[in-house]
């Protein structure tokens, strides 16, 4: 290995240690309560050294948020799963939202940072960087529309609101579990399955959805000034 390759590997290792330390501190103490100095102390580096990797604490969050959202996976690939390839469209939708719940179990720190901590910066500040996340939501809406086209869901269904309803239900169980708010002996997996099944059954029955308008996570909404400039 040459000097340049070794330097690059060492730089990547330091960057990784910064992100890991920051993720743990952000989740344990809350984003707004963690300083660059505190992250530096955790990895035994100087604050100035960290600024050589990330210009600000917000940039550290954006890097972690991008990692987490990519770990969540791409809903458009669900149909490539051999077990789901020949299933009905509604079962593929179910798998997409179950994956969101599984993410909360497999990556609780990323989940808490992205979906729970209210003090983190809006990812809309890096609007183009997180375009992939918005594209994934469009894939989910398209998957719900495929269910409508196949006759599995009513033609009057607002698919964007349906997506939001399904997401909120699954996220609610995940947050209850993450914050230890479930009852003694209560199985979060079974509760998540019940919530998902009940919501899908309600949508299939033609229940009227009363909510409308905002269907995006507040963290992802493009600021008005940015939207007008684009």
Report the CATH number that the domain containing residue 51 is assigned in CATH. Answer: 1.10.10.60
Residues 17 and 97 in one domain: no
- CATH code for the domain of 80: 1.10.357
H helical segments located in the chain: 3-29, 36-43, 47-51, 57-72, 89-106, 108-115, 131-149, 159-178, 188-205, 224-229
Regions in the chain scoring below 50 on pLDDT: 224-230
The residue segments making up the domain with residue 24 are: 3-55
pLDDT of residue 215: 52
How many Å apart are CA 36 and CA 29, to the nearest integer?
A: 13
**147 plus 47 within the same structural domain:** no
Q: Report CA Rg, the chain.
A: 20
72 and 163 both lie in a single domain: yes
pLDDT tens profile 151-208: 999 999 999 999 999 999 999 999 999 999 999 999 999 999 999 999 999 999 999 9
41 and 102 share a domain? no
Tally of structural domains, the chain: 2
Q: Does one domain contain both 76 and 122?
A: yes
Are 176 and 224 in a shared domain?
yes
Q: What is the pLDDT of residue 219?
A: 56
Looking at residue 217, its pLDDT comes to 60
Pair 105, 36 in one domain? no
What DSSP designation does 219 have? G
Quote the pLDDT of residue 230: 33
19 & 105 share domain: no
Q: Are residues 50 and 151 in the same domain?
A: no
Element (H, E) at 209: none
Burial of residue 26, with CB atoms counted within 10 A of its CB: 0-12 exposed, 13-18 middle, 19 or more buried: buried
pLDDT for the residue numbered 211 = 86
């Amino acid at each position: 290995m040459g000097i340049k390759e070794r330097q690059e590997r060492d730089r990547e290792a330091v960057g990784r240690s910064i992100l890991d330390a920051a993720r743990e501190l952000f989740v344990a103490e809350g984003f707004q309560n963690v300083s660059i100095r505190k992250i530096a102390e955790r990895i035994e580096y100087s604050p100035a050294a960290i600024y050589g990797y990330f210009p600000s604490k917000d940039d550290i969050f954006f890097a972690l948020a991008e990692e987490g959202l990519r770990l969540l996976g791409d809903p458009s690939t669900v149909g490539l799963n051999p077990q789901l390839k020949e299933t009905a469209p509604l079962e593929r939708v179910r798998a997409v939202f179950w994956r969101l719940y599984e993410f909360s179990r497999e990556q609780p720190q990323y989940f808490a940072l992205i979906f729970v901590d209210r003090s983190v910066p809006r990812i809309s500040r890096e609007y183009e960087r997180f375009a992939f996340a918005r594209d994934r939501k469009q894939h989910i809406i398209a998957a719900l529309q495929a269910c409508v086209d196949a006759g599995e869901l009513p033609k009057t269904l607002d698919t964007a609101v349906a997506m939001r309803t399904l997401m909120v239900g699954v996220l609610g169980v995940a947050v209850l579990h993450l914050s230890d708010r479930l009852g003694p002996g209560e199985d979060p997996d079974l509760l998540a399955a019940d919530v998902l099944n009940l919501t899908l059954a309600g949508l299939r029955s033609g229940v009227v959805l009363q909510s409308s308008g905002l269907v995006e996570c507040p963290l992802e909404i493009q600021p008005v000034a940015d939207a007008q400039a684009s």
